[in-house]
Structure 1
Amino acid sequence: MSDATANGDATEGAPDTAMPTLPKMQILGQFIRDLSFENAAVQNAVVANGQPDIQVQVALDARKRPTENQFDVIMKVKIESKTKEDEPKAIFLIELEYGGVFLIENVQEAQLHPFLMIECPRMLFPFVRRIVSDVSRDGGFPPLNLDQIDFVALYRQQLAARAQQTAQGTA
């Protein structure tokens, strides 16, 4: 009798080839750490005619928690809306720090930092987008729907900025 299956693959007597362990990510919790909305248009009687100039800044931070394989990832979003005039006037400002507690397993140490700064924010972003939309609408403006963020590009920019700071510090 042969040790092959119907498709010709050997099953018995073949060395065990272990399947690589896939990374595992689980969101244990999400939270708003800080939220601020300033409606400068109403406070300063600013009349916004036409499409405003909206600037979005995103920063990320990740920290190890005391519990094994658990990490805090914080996405900091600052959104400034101004008029498109010679002297721009503030319309509104949203500052949001949104965090998640993640359980991360089976990720190599060398890949952990990019994983925390790319994959975890991708999971948080839809919630950040909804909060920004709701806050801008509740503040008296049309809902602001953030465009998708390329977290790989953002991560590369942060690495380049860090490398530049290090180079300037040693020069």
Structure 2
Amino acid sequence: MAEENGSQTPEAAAQQTPALPKMQVLGQFVRDLSFENIAAQKAVKGNVQPEIQVQVGVEARKRPTENQYDVVVKLKIDSKNKEGGEQIFLIELDYAGIFLIENVNEQQMHPFLHIECPRMLFPFIRRIVADLSHDGGFPPLNLDNMDFVQIYRNQLARAAQAKPHADA
């Protein structure tokens, strides 16, 4: 009866509705990690007022297995004393995830890999950085939430500037 008044059967409606994107984290791991307590090495004394600078990059690539991708979030955290500019500590972290991604069209895959996947990894990155700074003799460094949309836009802008102009 439903077909007589113009409505569709559930099967027909399911065929016309595009499938929702699906993402599954298959694995995650520290790919590279470095922590340097420069203040202890150089015996920095006196009033230390840290100024923290965080640099973030994201790399993504297709894996040989269908619908699987590697995404690596690269962090460089540099802490310097506000007064003298002496370096206090340095953290470099490459944190990787292996993702199964389905139902994302080709045009949207690049931003999906550089925005949504790092968002999934970020809570783990935050904890590693907090534990590492604490275990290194400093108060835990709790990273603020990161705007991966803006990080992605900045990466695209840098890539566009680095390209040689074809007009010349």
Q: Is this a same-fold pair by TM over 0.5?
A: yes
Alignment of 1:147-158 (within 5 A): 147-158=144-155
Alignment match of 1:43 (pick from 41, 44, 48): 41
Match of residue 131 from structure 1: 128
Residue 107 to residue 11, structure 1, CA distance change in 2 (3 Å)? closer
Per-residue deviation at 1:118?
A: 0.2
Residue 60 to residue 48, structure 1, CA distance change in 2 (3 Å)? farther
* TM-score, normalised via structure 1 length: 0.89
Give unpaired runs (5+ residues) of structure 2: none
Structure 2 counterpart SS, 1:16: helix
Q: Count the aligned residue pairs.
A: 165
Identity of matched residues, %: 64
Q: In the aligned structure 1, how far is the partner of 2:27 from the partner of 2:116?
A: 16
Q: In the aligned structure 2, how far is the partner of 1:65 from the partner of 1:142?
A: 38
Match of residue 22 from structure 1: 20
Q: In the aligned structure 2, how far is the partner of 1:15 from the partner of 1:69?
A: 26
Q: In the aligned structure 2, how far is the partner of 1:74 from the partner of 1:136?
A: 21
Q: In the aligned structure 2, how far is the partner of 1:28 from the partner of 1:56?
A: 27
Give unpaired runs (5+ residues) of structure 1: none
Alignment of 1:1-171 (within 5 A): 3=1, 10=7, 16-17=12-13, 18-47=16-45, 49-85=47-83, 87-167=84-164
Residue 41 to residue 72, structure 1, CA distance change in 2 (3 Å)? same
* TM-score, normalised via structure 2 length: 0.90
The structure with the larger Rg is 1
Q: In the aligned structure 1, how far is the partner of 2:152 from the partner of 2:76?
A: 17
Residue 159 to residue 11, structure 1, CA distance change in 2 (3 Å)? closer
